[in-house]
Amino acid sequence: MPEFIFSCLWYLLPAALGNHNASCGNRIWLPSILKRGLAKIAVPIDFGVKWRGCEIFGKNKTWRGLLVGVITGMIVAGIQALLFFNSDFFVRYTIVDYRKVNFILIGSLMGGGALLGDLIESFIKRRLNKPSGKPWFPWDQIDWIIGAMVLSSIVYAPLPKVAIVTILLYLVVHLCSDRVVCWMGIKKREEVN
């Protein structure tokens, strides 16, 4: 059972870290030239446009976050593929077969899917007049998980058992990690759902 739990967590790690880094994009250590470049695209995805009197996605959903999330997903999937090709342990416990799936493709789909799920949830939240940052359990915690799984299913669809266990595990991980990063000062209280 611990091996299966590890496999499920490992499977969605590109999306999890992509989603996390997207919201911490301005606090990630990077060389100053990259920081300045990312700062230029730290504008809302909806460009502040309003629909029916309210924001489409909200000011916290930025192009910088989207780019950081997708790149993080690709980097993490690249590390997974490297370990997969160089370790019997990771061959045994990696759900995605990197001999058949391109790590850049699945990493970008997971990172982008996580953020797409978050955007859809934000759009719905705005339509229901829920303020940005106000908790909306469990949707705040699983929007990115479902988005990542759906979009990455273009190249790899997990078994239903894997999908269900992964959603439940990351629901718990998300709740715990948000509290920890807030306590550490990495995220602000209003950014934690």
Task: Give the angle subtended at the CA of 18 by the CAs of 115 and 131, to the nearest 5°.
Answer: 45
Q: pLDDT tens, 39-75?
A: 788 888 888 888 888 888 888 889 999 999 999 999 9
DSSP state of 87: -
Q: What is the pTM of this model?
A: 0.87
Assess contact for 75 and 110: CB atoms under 8 A. Answer: no
For residue 131, what pLDDT band results from cuts at 50, 70 and 90?
confident
Q: pLDDT tens, 38-47?
A: 778 888 888 8
Q: pLDDT tens, 106-121?
A: 999 999 999 999 999 9
Ordered DSSP codes for 110-168: HHHHHHHHHHHHHHHHHHTTPPTT---TTHHHHHHHHHHHHHHTTT----HHHHHHHHH
